[in-house]
Amino acid sequence: MNVLAVLAPVSAVIALIFAYGLSSWIGKMDEGTDRMREISGYIREGAMAFLRREYKTMAVVILVLFLVLGFGIDWLTAVLYVFGALFSVLAGYCGMRVATKGNVRTASAAMSGGMNKALKVAFRSGAVMGLCVVGLGLLGIGGVFVLFGVESASVITGFGLGASSMALFGRVGGGIYTKAADVGADLVGKVEAGIPEDDPRNPAVIADNVGDNVGDVAGMGSDLFESYVGSIISAITLAVVMPSIKPTFGYEFDLPPLAGSVFPLVLSAIGIIASIIGIMCVRGNEKSNPAAALNAGTYISSAIVVVFSFVLSWVFFANFNCAIAIIAGLIVGIAIGKLTEFYTSGDYKHVKKISEQCQTGPATTIISGFGVGMLSTVWPIIMIAVGILVANAFAGLYGIALAAVGMLSTTGMVVAVDAYGPVSDNAGGIAEMSKLPKEVRMITDKLDAVGNTTAAIGKGFAIGSAALTALALFASYSQLAGLESISLLEPMVIAGLFIGAMLPFLFSALTMNSVGKAAYQMIEEVRRQFHCDAGIMEGTCKPDYARCVDISTKAALKEMMAPGLLAIIAPMAVGIIMGTEALGGMLAGALSSGVLVAIMMANAGGAWDNAKKYIEEGHFGGKGSESHKAAVVGDTVGDPFKDTAGPSINILIKLMTIVAVVFAPVFVAIGGLL
């Protein structure tokens, strides 16, 4: 048994124990008034009911792919696929259970303890999600190494395939659910009826708050779980297919020849400890910006990884080359996060400019938001390109994979910051529906505004890592498929390139249309209830919340299948019909166009959202003004951009690549039918 590999599952267990401790602490917090507990119960029941139905649907996909892998590849890969899928589901499920407990406790904390206490409860609720993601991810990968030895690295891609496939279904399904409810609640409630956000008279308000959890907590958790696992596996598979990657000290510490695959596991173990320290360092006060406290935790955890990357690089390779590659990934990740904040935060000029454009109506609002989204692709792409060149210069293709691992080494902290946002958003909704004092809603709104930016930063990390991870997996695919190079002078490669470049657009069209269909049903239902029962607007009777929850649930489960299956079927079809070189072209095309589309959509959506919130703070007319109505329309367009299509594309890219890696022997054997 590899001694150093044991560090991975040990640190993973520590993360899970720490998550349990935080969960217990959150459970002891006060839930507030009876009305607050009642509303929180509605949200929790709706969220858990959706997850149960979603997981039943996913079980069919898991079973089919298990049989395909078992008969087509080997049964160990198939078994690891199932474990990867189950761990992904479990990470999202555990995180969402705590988030649906933390929302009401955050609102209660804002009422009794002010900003600092509310921030602590909301952030620690998100931290449980973060620690479950890294704990279960590294427990799965590290556990395989400990149980089966380093030779299992050749089949561990099955675990990654399970994580990626479930992440895509979870992200798309949750995204469709939450945006259908959000669009219906906003367009009919805010624009047509003129009632505040989270007003209890809005029939879609519970479905909207449920959506924050199934999309932005459970779906996001599975998304970052997949990113984290995928980055580690990309480094491991490269070490396997390129045996020259191994430590200089050989067998001195009883390490096998493929010990280069252990290095990312040890680095990730350090990252977990660094994330725990960063989580405990998040502190705020009544006068400080919550973003400053969250940034402090992120910087502390990143600094710890930087220090230890030098130590590990020297111990393993007797040089600092791998450390430089890791740090390049970390710097790129942080830079993308800051660039995302620059383009999506109300503190900077781009969001303020969109808010100003809202004064002239929805059309100019949408035009300016699109412009910001497109402009926001420039520097992140340049940073990714620089990161790739630096990592490759010092450690080759293996360095590029390590850059992705470095970028996501502090995933526990990144997810904690990301998941904090939906908890704060829910807390604001509960405060509004429970008619808590205005001061409480001011605190939750401030937390929520920061949460919108942190969510965009989390998406930026995932998208940036997708480029590096997919490139490393692409290198593994080329080795397994026996491709020394892919020539752009070959017609089959060019055909594959165009097909691949088209797929992110097709995928986005499917997901956007799915949100549109579901939102149409939601809008019609909310309008029907308003028109048929005057007592709803008068506040003398309750809306039918359950009907709206059911509409979002059914639409999400129905519409998530086509986009989810596209990512699995497309690379298999191209690999079987057109051959391995065409598949290489397809993966390259999907990577280049997918990263651009994902960044544009995520940042445009985030900018529109915070432009609306900037106006709601009292600028350019404030709530209820014509500017506000235009901003709501822009935010509605941006909702599926930032929470459904955009963040799902990074999973699409990696899932197609890992499908190519897993099935490469099959494609080589067939040789292409054309």
Count other C-beta atoms under 10 Å from residue 461's C-beta. 26
Tokens of 94: 């555990």
pLDDT score of 255 = 43
Q: Which of 648, 661, 650 is nearest to 590 (CA)?
A: 650
Mean pLDDT by 10 residues, the chain (674 residues): 77 95 93 89 87 88 93 90 93 88 91 86 92 94 79 76 89 86 79 75 84 82 86 84 52 48 90 94 72 83 93 87 91 86 88 94 94 95 93 89 89 87 86 85 80 70 80 85 86 95 95 88 86 71 84 86 90 94 95 93 91 90 89 90 87 92 91 81
Rounded to an integer, what distance in angstroms lies between the CA atom of residue 73 and that of residue 206? 45
Mark 130-163 as b/e (b = at least 16 C-beta within 10 Å). Answer: bbbbbbbbbbbbbbbbbeeebebbbbbbbbbbbb
Number of domains making up the chain: 1
Rounded to an integer, what distance in angstroms lies between the CA atom of residue 102 and that of residue 280? 17
**Under 8 Å between Cβ of 511 and 645:** yes
pLDDT score of 357 = 94
Distance from the Cα of residue 474 to its chain's centroid: 21
Count other C-beta atoms under 10 Å from residue 382's C-beta. 12
Going through 189-229 in order, the beta strands assigned E by DSSP cover none
User: What CA–CA distances, in Å, run from 131 to 23, 36, 419?
Assistant: 11, 28, 11
**Under 8 Å between Cβ of 143 and 9:** yes
Judging by beta carbons within 10 Å of its beta carbon (0-12, 13-18, 19+), is residue 412 exposed, middle or buried? buried
pLDDT score of 553 = 87
Alpha helix (H) ranges present in 345-437? 349-357, 362-375, 378-407, 411-433
Q: Which domain holds residue 174?
A: 4-670
- Positive or negative, the CA dihedral 51, 637, 600, 486 is positive
At 48-72, the pLDDT tens digits run 888 888 888 889 999 999 999 999 8
Cα-Cα-Cα-Cα torsion 379, 385, 391, 396, nearest 10 degrees, comes to 170
